[in-house]
Amino acid sequence: MNIYVLLKRTFDTEEKIVLTNGQIAEDGAEFIINPYDEYAIEEAIQIKEKNGGEITVVTVGTEESEKELRTALAMGADKAVLINIEDDVEQSDQYTTAKILAQYLKDQSPDLILGGNVAIDGGSGQVGPRVAELLEIPYVTTITKLDIKDRQVTVVRDVEGDSEIIETTLPLLVTAQQGLNEPRYPSLPGIMKAKKKPLTELEIDDLDLEEEDVEAKTKTIEIYLPPKKEAGRILNGEVQDQVKELVQLLHSEAKVI
């Protein structure tokens, strides 16, 4: 089975993010594999263990993404591909990423493509579905279970707290939701093996694409932190007095009634 995993390098949201001039300051920031993509990597490994095949992780980014690709290789992926856009693309968005990934994947004959449901930095959840649409293959998002028998696939997906069961066939693209599995940590032997596994670097020229072909359709004007929450208030006294005070506060301060 020919398995591909879409990976993104993201900020570690457990670290403090600093904004400078409306942009996230990357100096000193910690980067990780997007956590939802880790579920996709783990699921790909488990599928390979059951059905055989080969796993390729692919990302669109800069040379700094090699660290995250090597981590995926240490987890158990077989090959990695970095499509480096640093010198070719001035502005990128979800359209840019999806267009490049689809252009690469169309010649790879993938049976199964996995990705994270969302990236924790942007949270749009657009890249996976866009890639599937460009490749003209089925896709299922927010999956929590995946069973493959021959070319038949049964998927359970999360639907706002409930579950939906979908039956389809390969080739297929799915995006992983939390609860799909428990991603493994790279072992020491896995880390040593990852150093020798193939990592290919491409540019958009190698995919017969020009900068205008992948020009961003959206533009980020500014990034800002949410406003600080004010301290809560505790109402005292008799219950009916508290109710009166609460109504007054909702009207005069919160202005919601």
Over the stretch 202-226, which tens digit does the pLDDT of each residue have?
999 999 999 999 999 998 888 887 7
**In contact, 77 and 215? CB cutoff 8 Å:** no
Question: What pTM did the predictor assign?
Answer: 0.87
- Where in the chain are the domains? 2-214
What's the pLDDT at 253? 83
Q: Quickly state the pLDDT bin for 35 (edges 50, 70, 90).
A: very high
Phi/psi at 142 (5° precision): 50, 50
Q: What is the mean pLDDT of residues 68-96?
A: 96
What share of the chain in percent tops pLDDT 90? 77
Instruction: Share the mean pLDDT of the chain.
Output: 93
Q: With a cut of 80, say whether residue 28 has pLDDT above it.
A: no
C-alpha dihedral, 197 to 203 to 205 to 211, nearest 10°: 150
Q: With a cut of 80, say whether residue 9 has pLDDT above it.
A: yes
CATH of 2-214, one of 3.40.190.10, 3.40.50.300, 1.10.260.40, 3.40.50.620: 3.40.50.620
Q: With a cut of 90, say whether residue 229 has pLDDT above it.
A: no
Q: With a cut of 90, say whether residue 243 has pLDDT above it.
A: yes
What's the pLDDT at 157? 96
Q: Quickly state the pLDDT bin for 151 (edges 50, 70, 90).
A: very high
